[in-house]
Amino acid sequence: MELSHDAVRWIADLARLELTDEEISLYAGQLSHILQHFERLQELDTSHIEPTASVLPLKNVMRPDVAQPPLPPEAVIANAPDALDNQFRVSAVLDE
């Protein structure tokens, strides 16, 4: 499938893109090339393949949400780059 320059202009307009004539020529060729790949894929017989939303099995990988005792403050700040009195210290972000 070969895209015309008018079709590329229309697509660019839908995407709110301002393209030069050089870009339109470039994208017309690139998009046409991409569509040719999709045309080849359309030739494949997929009638024996069951439709799927994902090729991976659906599995919840989250652990159960169970209330547990909180971590001690020392453990929370153990890997902090800077801490004072069991509190994180960060660089100032506002000028005062």
Q: How far apart are CA 22 and CA 33, in angstroms?
A: 17
**Bridge partners for 88 per DSSP:** 83
Domain ranges of the chain: 5-42
Distance between CA atoms of 6 and 71, rounded to whole angstroms?
A: 63
pTM above 0.85, yes or no: no
Q: Which fold has domain 5-42?
A: Histone, subunit A (1.10.20)
pLDDT in tens, 20-58: 999 999 999 999 999 999 999 999 998 998 888 888 888
User: What is the rounded end-to-end Cα distance, in angstroms, of the chain?
Assistant: 62
Residue 23 is predicted with a pLDDT of 96
Q: How far apart are CA 8 and CA 13, in angstroms?
A: 8
Residue 55 is classified by DSSP as S
